[in-house]
Amino acid sequence: MISKSKSREIRDLLEDSQNPLFFFDNDQDGLCSYLILRRFLGRGRGVPVKTNPLTKEYIKRVREFSPDRVFVLDVPEISNDFLEELFESNIPLVHIDHHKVQRSKYYNKISYYNSSSRSGDGEPVTVICYNVAEKREDIWLGVIGAISDKYFPPFYKVFLSLYPDLALESNNPFEILYNSGIGDIARMLGAGLKDRTTNVMKMIRFLINSRGPYDLANDNKEDFVFYKRFKDLEKKMDLLIRKAKKNLDEEKLLFFKYSGEVSMSADISNKLSYLYPKKYVVVAYAKGNFVNISARGEQIKKKIMPLLKKIKDSKGGGHENAVGAQLPLASLDFFVEELKKSI
């Protein structure tokens, strides 16, 4: 957990920045973290990050925008190459995260804030940023980022009192995500992040200037584009969920493999873990010679990370109960069989 004094430190660094550049993870937690800080400060640029670690290739955005400070939000790791390039430019960096990771040798040179503890992951970065900004009008963004990361935010009751028609009286984050108005908006933003870069940036600009959650419920042209994208992806996901259910049996592991134009593995695995909370869920998206894995289950990280060490050209990481990984397609059968043995 990030203390109040640390929150004030982040706020001071933010307010001291005249031209900040924000790199944020390409999911709802990362997006809402950026939006909360950007709407609070009223200035800065944002760049979604689709890789972990944050690699040297993103330095070109630093050169493009010439920031006086860089913020990295909800991205677990930053490559040494990126850090070295940044240090050469004498640009300070603030890294805000909630994953348990091995820290880089350079971390004594940056401002690092991580809510994780020895017992596990901490509150999502959205919650950290909401506590930094303290803008009640952005509480809806705080809720979206939190429930999308399967976290029940401490300020949810306040949100419930302000927006009872969008909320659900529950303390189960996935129950809220799949059965409420704010959950619909959260999933809509997740769908929007899977669109072309031009449309993603258009959505972000819309959200920066949004007056509140009802702007995403109004029948306007921009909102219709987001809503249409959301409904199209929801239809595809529902079809894939139905196919995945055919793999249900008495085993503890529910495994589902698919392919296609759009990767929805995290969304599919989240929904399946919500529907079948006692199951371990592994969703594999095959593309070319590799598969992207999204896994859910109790202490799944402890089961998958040692297994990846046995597979050449594999990588992965995430939370205690939610992991993402990539491995060669040829190693998928081995991965599944070994995982079955461990659970």
**pLDDT score of 226:** 76
160 within 8 A of 151, measured Cβ to Cβ: no
Residue-averaged pLDDT of the chain: 94
Integer Cα distance of 78 and 6 in angstroms: 21
* pTM as predicted: 0.94
pLDDT digits (tens, 9 = 90+) for 126-165: 999 999 999 999 999 999 999 999 999 999 999 999 999 9
- Distance from the Cα of residue 272 to its chain's centroid: 18
Which helix (H) or strand (E) is 275 found in, with range?
Answer: helix 265-275
Structure confidence at residue 240 as a pLDDT band (50, 70, 90): very high
Helices in 16-58 by DSSP H: which ranges? Answer: 28-41
The confidence score (pLDDT) of residue 134 equals 96
Residue type at position 330: A
Q: Which domains does the chain have, with CATH numbers?
A: 4-224 (3.90.1640.30), 249-342 (3.10.310.40)
Most confident of the following: 137-151, 186-200, 228-242: 137-151
Three-state DSSP at 95 gives: strand
Confidence (pLDDT) at 224: 66
The Cα–Cα gap between 337 and 25 comes to 31
Helices H / strands E in the chain, number of each:
14, 10
Of 119 and 90, the one with more pLDDT: 90
* Single-letter residue type at 140: W
Tokens coding 25: 């993870």
How far lies 172's CA from each of 168, 229, 318, in Å? 10, 27, 21
- CA–CA distances in Å: residue 94 to residues 107, 157, 164: 10, 30, 36
Of 241, 235, 230, 236, residue with least CA distance to 261: 236
Please state, in angstroms and rounded to a whole number, the distance separating the CA atoms of residues 104 and 47: 22
At 220 the pLDDT is 58
| 244-291 pLDDT, tens digit each | 999 999 899 999 999 998 899 999 999 999 999 999 999 999 999 999
CA dihedral for 326, 327, 333, 335, sign (positive or negative): negative
